[in-house]
Amino acid sequence: MRKIIILENTYYTVLSLRMEILRHFKAKGFEIYILSKAEKNDIEILEKEGFKCRPVGTVVLNPIKAIQFFYRLIKEIKQIQPDIIFSFTIRPNIFGSLAARLLSIPIVSNVTGTGPLTTDKGLVYSLIRMANKLAFTKNQRVFFQNQDDYSFFIKSKYVKKEQAKLLPGSGVDTDYYSPRPKTHKGFSFLMVSRLIVDKGVRDYVEAARIVRSSFPDIQFRLLGPFWQQSTSKNTITEAEVKAWEDEGFINYLGYTLDVRLFMAEADAIVLPSYREGCANVLMQGASMAKPLIATDVTGCRNLVEDGITGYLCEVRNPSSLAEKMINLYNLSTEKRQEMGLKGREKMIEEYQKRIVLDAYEGEVR
């Protein structure tokens, strides 16, 4: 049986973002191994579906622990002897690519977003930029989810043009994420995100403060997991979220792998992110015919047609976000529905999951 290794930061992100790829190749007879950070409940779900989980931990800033992680990664890959490796996100891409080169195994990496990589001048991201120059030179393919990241990596000589290929993000299953009737009364905004600063969580809360001062009946909901894989300055704490709830500005809903019920009850989906690869949440929301509000940044602006399928606001500007929220709230129900339907049409025409699956299948030789 042919074997594929999936490298990801956490098993949670595998469950929330990669299942279509896993199921696609499993149905074609491949044995799928997932190397990631151990989370018992997530591993149990994946193994019930027939996937093989190999916990290897995660990369941390401590250089000794990073070397230990790299050793575990090489050991597991040598033992499995895969036909090909698929890697996702910054750290699995870098360490996976270096390991694959040492072991002469084909690897396809997906740059799902760069975060502060292009702008942060601190030590951590300076080291990551140096690592990128070493990591990708021998990769079979490097997929990109937006034109800006594609151009940046080629211009920076991290990849050669013949290695690089653009995808419509991770794609969206428009049958799975289809419109559902709203059953609850009242107007609500919903932000779905990992709870990190770069997603604009604090901007969302500040915008909620501004809006509710004039429209106290509008609800602001927040759905997503707390996240420890980021730097400390980028981490939102449980105490911080509880304080927001106590003030009455937001309702934190916890997190779930199936966001459809929560999206169905929202009047609009909001993502004030500082930068994305190609925002899955926006694709899912649009596919469910919800109007969108997002920042005018890479990975968001391509998914929102301003004034047609939703609104774009200024990045890191809660006042701009609040203004767009009020604009959307003041629209008629019919106009908001029209926006949502046009967004769904865009997903069907440009962002179908099938495009992504075909691209991956084309890399398995």
Residue 281 covered by a domain: yes
| pLDDT of amino acid 96 | 97
Q: How much is the pLDDT for 229?
A: 66
Q: Are residues 142 and 235 in the same domain?
A: no
Give the mean pLDDT of 37-56: 95
- Domain boundary (132, 166, 200) is at 166
Domain count, the chain: 2
The confidence score (pLDDT) of residue 25 equals 98
pLDDT at 223: 98
SS3 151: helix
The tally of CA atoms less than 13 A away on the side-chain side of residue 31 is: 9
Alpha helices in the chain (DSSP H): 11-13, 19-27, 40-48, 63-80, 90-103, 123-135, 147-155, 201-212, 238-247, 260-264, 280-287, 318-330, 333-350, 353-361
Backbone phi and psi for residue 348, each to the nearest 5 degrees, phi listed first: -65, -40
Residues 201 and 336 in one domain: yes
% of the chain exceeding 70 in pLDDT: 98
Q: Give a yes or no: residue 267 inside a domain.
A: yes
Q: Is residue 183 part of a domain?
A: no
pTM, 2 dp: 0.92
When pLDDT is cut at 50, 70 and 90, the band that residue 126 belongs to is: confident
Tell me, yes or no, whether 177 lies in a domain: no
Does any domain span residue 111?
Answer: yes
Which residues touch 149 (CB under 8 Å, ≥6 apart)? 111, 113, 114, 277, 298
- In this structure, the answer to whether residues 89 and 210 fall within a common structural domain is no
CATH of the domain at 219: 3.40.50.2000
Domain annotation covers residue 175: no
Q: What is the pLDDT of residues 289-307, one digit of tens each?
A: 999 999 999 999 999 999 9
Q: Would you state the pLDDT for residue 131?
A: 85
Question: For 248-270, what is the mean pLDDT?
Answer: 96
Q: 230 pLDDT band (50/70/90 cuts)?
A: low
Q: Are residues 229 and 276 in the same domain?
A: yes
pLDDT of residue 6: 98
Please tell me whether residues 334 and 193 are part of one structural domain. Answer: yes
- Checking if the pLDDT of 362 tops 80, the result is yes
Domain containing residue 38? 3-166
Can you give the pLDDT at residue 132? 85
